[in-house]
Structure 1
Amino acid sequence: MSIRDQAIILGNEIVETAPQIRGRYFENDLLKPVFAHYFKRGARWTSMPRPVMADRSFDLTHARTKDPEHVPTDAELDDSDTGTGVEMMFDAAQCLRFGRDVLLNVATEHHALGARWLQRHLGDRFRLHVVHRLDSNHIDTQILPLRPGTLLLRGPEVLAHLPEPLRRWDKIYAPEPDPAEFPDYGPDALTLTSLYIDMNVLSLDEHTVIANSQAPRLVKTLEAHGFTVIPVRHRHRRLFAGGFHCFTLDTVREGSGPEDYLSS
């Protein structure tokens, strides 16, 4: 469902990123007819190297600090040697595009390898800015650009991670989530996102945003800052692990190419 997670559009190029969840390894096969269509029309189409995903392909250091009860120790991992060591694994949803500039969130060694590959691959076509552990994985419940010059942020602490030009943009802080706005699945439920998942809004243009009607305080906050909000009901967003930004992948944009928002 979250088609933005493992593919990113950069200029005229589709980049499929290296999966880091075994159950999602073949997920992008469902998008191949779409990508093939754009390739035939002149788009570049690239895939990061595919990981073997052995136990020791993953850097679990950060995960153990977050959830030591459920993350296996080194002694519990399969000791088979693939010859690769920690592998390149990196999601497109760890990136945010600002025209010619792209933020890359890196929290692990396997993320760092993916970011390094992307930097080498893109060369000087884009300016890449690595931010370290803004989140443990995806970036779009911490920061989202709503329009040029305006950011939606989880809180002021995010600013310290950002390039200096972005710190000067107008800032809207998401209200602290109310657990009562979310379904209660019981203590043993596997909820895959934080309560800030409703920050995952989708900007249609500089004035219009699709947001979850189940987050009324966020809707009012955006409206108070002059946005027209289209409320759409998405009740089980923590089980589906995504919002409207995750569920969409823009492939065609107006304009002659990536804008330069951060040089001025």
Structure 2
Amino acid sequence: MAQDEIDGALMMLLNSFDDWSPLKEVVVGSATSYASHQRELSFDLFFHDNIAGDNSTRSEWYYPRLTARGRDRPPSRGTVPIKQKYVEELAEDLAGIVDALTTLGVTVHRPMDLDANTVEVRTPAWSASVVPPLNVRDNTLIVGDEIIETSPMIRSRYFETQFLKPVFQRYFEQGARWTVMPRPLMTDASFDLSYARVSTVGGPTEPISDPQPSCYDVGTEMMIDAAQVLRLGRDLVVNVTTANHALGCDWLERHLQGRFRIHRVERLSDSHIDSMVLALRPGTLLVRSATVRDKLPEPLRSWDLIVPPAPDANHFPTYDGSDLVLASPFIDLNVLSVSPEIVLVNDACPELMRTLEKHAFTVVPVRHRHRRLFGGGFHCFTLDTVREGSAEDYLS
């Protein structure tokens, strides 16, 4: 969105405490100038729990592993191009999300687009290719009237929140708090590799290259995505899998002390929580499997669980061996609630839609074809900035 469009948009005061209260304003991501993925340490670690292709025998698998085929072949390095027809179709689907939300009375804001000439981000310690601000949920946590830009986990997304600056600036001018977590130096030594080296979530672990030394090494640093946080009024449930996440959670606890309660869950997934469990309304959770309950904080274990049928492989496009698949078949659990009664769901998921309708939700089907290639669903692609509701206590 251009600056004059932001200036002309009517914006309410920033206010968002949960993922289900009636949605008034939202940011929808951009796919402009998406050209490739770059394989390097931070990318490989983020998608560590990936497997090659589908595997229906292990429901806890989170993302497909990056190695294309064959366990004896080391993972490739460098740039993996994305076919532009997929980018064009993604842009069409994003426009459909915008139209659906606008029809429901939601004001939609967009980030600045990535200029095609901006191909690299560089710091004193490293350089990486740049991706557009598509999964805008990942690096920004909205807690009440505060914008928190979280400490990034992938080098190519290090400055991603800069594309949202015009939107954030307008909310700040209207009274919002605006905080940026410490930015990691993000050398190889910054990453906790223990999970990647010992995890058996996805079967035998994929090799992770030994970290290379740097003159900027400071040891393990805080790195955590906002998408690791489940917002429940005055309570935040944070998924912690690595020492990087734990440091980030420490920061959140100290920064939000007295305003929000933090509840840690250990290794619910490798990183993001929002395709494992989503709160659709007070007392109701959408979860990948019933076993999720055992890892939740005690007060949440009494909530109703909606467990949809396993995803059908026929509901996904078929890709070439050269296409890098980033999301598991469970990605469509990543729905967006517009209110406690209305949910945006991928129109390719009839079983999920029927399941939600049986639980008295009104389902709004919206097209999203290439969610597995771009690693995000409707919840990932959106950042809700204004919802009705307040810091309610749902867990006491």
TM over 0.5: yes
2:174 alignment partner in structure 1: 41
* Shift of residue 60, structure 1, vs aligned partner: 1.8
Q: Does the CA-based 8 Å contact 2:190-2:217 persist in structure 1?
A: no
The 1:3/1:57 distance shift into structure 2, 3 A limit, reads same
Percent sequence identity is 58
Q: Does 1:11 align with 2:121?
A: no
1:91 alignment partner in structure 2: 225
1:182 alignment partner in structure 2: 316
2:380 alignment partner in structure 1: 246
Q: Does the CA-based 8 Å contact 2:335-2:345 persist in structure 1?
A: yes
Cα offsets for 1:44-102 (capped at 9, x unmatched): 00011001110111112212335743421x3xx21224242011110000001000111
Cα offsets for 1:182-205 (capped at 9, x unmatched): 112134432112211000001111
1:100 alignment partner in structure 2: 234
If the length of structure 2 is used for normalisation, what is the TM-score? 0.64
Structure 1 vs Structure 2 CA RMSD: 1.3
* Shift of residue 23, structure 1, vs aligned partner: 0.5
Q: How does 1:131-210 map to 2 (within 5 A)?
A: 131-210=265-344
Specify the SS of the correspondent of 2:388: coil
If the length of structure 1 is used for normalisation, what is the TM-score? 0.94
Q: Does the CA-based 8 Å contact 2:189-2:217 persist in structure 1?
A: no
2:190 alignment partner in structure 1: 57
Q: Between Structure 1 and Structure 2, whose CA radius of gyration is higher? A: 2
Distance 2:304 2:241 in 1: 27
* Shift of residue 2, structure 1, vs aligned partner: 0.9
Distance 1:131 1:143 in 2: 12
Q: Does the CA-based 8 Å contact 2:228-2:273 persist in structure 1?
A: yes
Distance 1:9 1:258 in 2: 12
Cα offsets for 1:2-60 (capped at 9, x unmatched): 11100011111100001010000111111011111111111100011001110111112
Task: Extract unaligned runs of 5+ from structure 2.
Answer: 1-133
Q: Does 1:71 align with 2:71?
A: no
Distance 1:189 1:33 in 2: 34
Higher relative contact order (CA 8 A, sep 6+): 2
Q: Does the CA-based 8 Å contact 2:187-2:217 persist in structure 1?
A: no
Amino acid at match of 2:175: G
Distance 1:35 1:152 in 2: 30
Task: Extract unaligned runs of 5+ from structure 1.
Answer: none
Distance 2:196 2:180 in 1: 26
Distance 2:286 2:217 in 1: 42
Distance 2:195 2:331 in 1: 21
Q: Does the CA-based 8 Å contact 2:239-2:264 persist in structure 1?
A: yes
Distance 1:62 1:176 in 2: 26
